[in-house]
């Protein structure tokens, strides 16, 4: 029990062992991953560009943008023949913990302070290998750079090794997070750049390193689509778009839906077409946001205003699955969850004859792991709340709410940090 939390009673089942350090990749695994990545990319048009990487040898660190699973395959083609240890989420190796260990991956939970992870990272670099991380920690919901923690700067400063940044273009357009099951025929372009040398890192402050990394990993897939005249002609190209564009800019109600090439409001009836060039166009009247990310960011501002007015709160019944171990999800049944500025997330429920309680204060969650139509457990939207030794996957009763929850989590974190810093200054 920590911070008033009551752990789920699993009857003394083992938890994931963070202290175990990753193995050094066997060379046959390096080339096997390269081969399998090549196979997975058959039929796809892709280009890999390396900038400033001639002669670069391990140890070095890779910080990559994150749009879909294909990111891993393209990154593998860049790093071969070097041994690479990837930082991965435990749920990515559901039922395959042996594989995670075999490839030397470093397992972690999303959006927690993981000291064991830091130790494993430096362990890899000290052995002279490549460490690969995805600072966004989740797939980009909207094809633009997601939240990245400021802790990256301190990590890079201490590591004192070269930093390569990788930006993938076309991956979100090919497999958008809001409808990844239906692929689009889109050319892929990955750019790997030697962004920081040890000499540059030595001269920079942690804050300067953070800003440099964030700038290097900036992307906007819809702008990229427009600039490169990429046409997406599939007749289902807008299906699922309402999962990220959930609020109508015309009537302001959170009642959006989508079908075929259109997204529309079920309250006021206004409709927009997602055109082949990636732009939105109202079928009648004003087109409020031709650029998809602009609509998305407008929604975030709406949530921020709601919080500032003191009107934000969320409460719902949820169906809960947990992952105390890497290899299995436990269905612990119905629970109740609340989210507000004072208490953050509070999840309560009953399992195996005992109550459990998990709370994550706003200052403890800088972002929120969300999944649309998550296939590992059941194909519905869910969000994850993690603590040091467990992860809670919550399937809400309310529909189309997880994007707003993610916005609120990030904004409440920012406000909590600001309050903390103000309090320090006042002392």
| Span 274-291, pLDDT tens digits | 999 999 999 999 999 999
Euclidean distance between CA atoms 377 and 94, whole angstroms: 10
Greater model confidence, 182 or 301: 301
191 lies in the same domain as 246: no
251 lies in the same domain as 346: no
Residue 47 pairs in a beta bridge with: 189
Instruction: Convert the pLDDT of each residue in 200-243 to its tens digit.
Output: 999 999 999 999 999 999 999 999 999 999 999 999 999 999 99
Structure tokens given for 69: 């699973």
From the number of C-beta atoms within 10 Å of its C-beta (0-12, 13-18, 19+), residue 42 rates as exposed
CATH of residue 406: 2.30.29.30
252 lies in the same domain as 160: no
What's the whole-number mean pLDDT along residues 307-320? 97
127 lies in the same domain as 261: no
48 lies in the same domain as 165: yes
Considering only 92-101, 137-146, 377-386, which range has the smallest mean pLDDT? 92-101
Position 290 in a domain: yes
Q: Which of 282, 308, 334 is the last residue of a domain?
A: 308
What's the whole-number mean pLDDT along residues 148-160? 90
Position 14 in a domain: no
Task: Give the residue from 191, 70, 173, 83 showing the smallest Cα distance to 129.
Answer: 83
pLDDT > 50? residue 2: no
Position 236 in a domain: no
174 lies in the same domain as 97: yes
- The CA distances from residue 322 to 9, 46, 54, 330, 392, in Å, are 11, 37, 45, 5, 5
Structural contact between residues 238 and 258, judged by C-beta atoms closer than 8 angstroms? yes
179 lies in the same domain as 47: yes
195 lies in the same domain as 69: yes
153 lies in the same domain as 276: no
Q: Which of 258, 287, 308 is the last residue of a domain?
A: 308
CATH of residue 148: 3.40.1130.10
224, 189, 165, 81: CA torsion to nearest 10: 180
Euclidean distance between CA atoms 203 and 344, whole angstroms: 38
68 lies in the same domain as 178: yes
Band of residue 389 on the pLDDT scale cut at 50, 70, 90: confident
358 lies in the same domain as 210: no
pLDDT at 137: 80
Considering only 116-130, 202-216, 304-318, 375-389, which range has the smallest mean pLDDT? 375-389
Domain that holds residue 291: 241-308
Q: Which of 284, 308, 332 is the last residue of a domain?
A: 308
Position 407 in a domain: yes
Task: Give the residue from 223, 245, 111 showing the smallest Cα distance to 172.
Answer: 223
pLDDT > 90? residue 55: yes
Percent of the chain with pLDDT over 70: 98
Average pLDDT taken over every residue of the chain = 92
Euclidean distance between CA atoms 6 and 118, whole angstroms: 27
Position 331 in a domain: yes
Position 16 in a domain: no
Measured at the CA of 407, the angle between CA 116 and CA 390, to 5 degrees, comes to 30
Euclidean distance between CA atoms 96 and 90, whole angstroms: 10
Domain count, the chain: 3
Tell me the backbone φ, ψ of residue 402, rounded to 5 degrees: -75, -30
Neighbours of 268 (CB within 10 A): 13
Task: Give the residue from 147, 144, 134 showing the smallest Cα distance to 176.
Answer: 144
pLDDT > 50? residue 412: yes
Band of residue 427 on the pLDDT scale cut at 50, 70, 90: low
From the number of C-beta atoms within 10 Å of its C-beta (0-12, 13-18, 19+), residue 410 rates as buried
Percent of the chain with pLDDT over 90: 76
31 lies in the same domain as 125: yes
pLDDT at 1: 41
What's the whole-number mean pLDDT along residues 322-336? 88
Instruction: Convert the pLDDT of each residue in 133-142 to its tens digit.
Output: 999 888 899 9
């Amino acid at each position: 029990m920590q911070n008033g939390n009551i752990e789920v009673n699993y009857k003394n089942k083992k938890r994931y062992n963070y202290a175990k350090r990753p193995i050094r990749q066997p060379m046959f695994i390096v080339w096997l991953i390269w081969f399998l990545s090549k196979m997975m990319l058959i039929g796809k048009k892709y280009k890999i560009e390396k900038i400033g990487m001639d002669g670069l040898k391990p140890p070095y660190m890779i910080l990559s943008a994150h749009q879909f699973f294909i990111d891993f395959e393209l990154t593998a083609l860049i790093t071969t023949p070097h041994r690479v240890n990837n930082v991965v989420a435990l749920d990515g190796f559901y039922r395959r913990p042996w594989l995670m260990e075999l490839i030397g991956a470093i397992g972690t939970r999303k959006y927690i302070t993981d000291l064991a992870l830091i130790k494993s990272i430096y362990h890899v670099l000290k052995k002279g290998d490549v460490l690969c991380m995805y600072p966004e920690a989740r797939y980009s919901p909207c094809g633009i750079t997601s939240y990245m923690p400021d802790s990256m700067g301190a990590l890079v400063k201490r590591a004192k090794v070269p930093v390569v940044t990788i930006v993938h273009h076309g991956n979100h357009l090919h497999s958008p997070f809001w409808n990844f099951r239906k692929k689009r025929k889109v050319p892929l372009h990955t750019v790997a750049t030697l962004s920081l040398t040890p000499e540059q890192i030595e001269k920079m402050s942690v804050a300067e390193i953070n800003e440099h990394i964030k700038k290097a990993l900036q992307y906007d897939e819809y702008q990229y689509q427009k600039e490169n005249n990429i046409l997406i002609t599939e007749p289902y190209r807008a299906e699922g778009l309402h999962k990220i564009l959930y609020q109508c800019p015309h009537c302001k109600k959170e009642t959006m839906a989508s079908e075929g090439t259109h997204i529309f409001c079920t309250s006021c009836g206004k409709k927009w077409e997602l055109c082949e060039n990636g732009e939105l166009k109202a079928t009648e009247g004003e087109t409020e946001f031709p650029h998809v990310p602009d609509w998305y960011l407008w929604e975030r501002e709406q949530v921020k205003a709601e919080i500032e007015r003191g009107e934000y709160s969320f409460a719902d019944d949820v169906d809960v699955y947990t992952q105390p171990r890497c290899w299995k999800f436990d269905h612990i049944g119905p629970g109740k969850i609340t989210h507000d500025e004072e208490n953050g997330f509070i999840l309560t429920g009953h399992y195996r004859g005992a109550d459990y309680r998990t709370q994550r204060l706003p200052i403890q969650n800088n972002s929120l792991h969300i999944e649309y139509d998550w296939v590992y457990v059941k194909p519905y939207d869910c969000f994850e709340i993690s603590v040091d030794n467990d992860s809670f996957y919550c399937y809400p009763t309310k529909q189309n709410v997880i994007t707003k929850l993610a916005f609120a989590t990030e904004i409440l974190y920012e406000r909590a940090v600001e309050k903390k810093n103000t309090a320090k200054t006042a002392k």
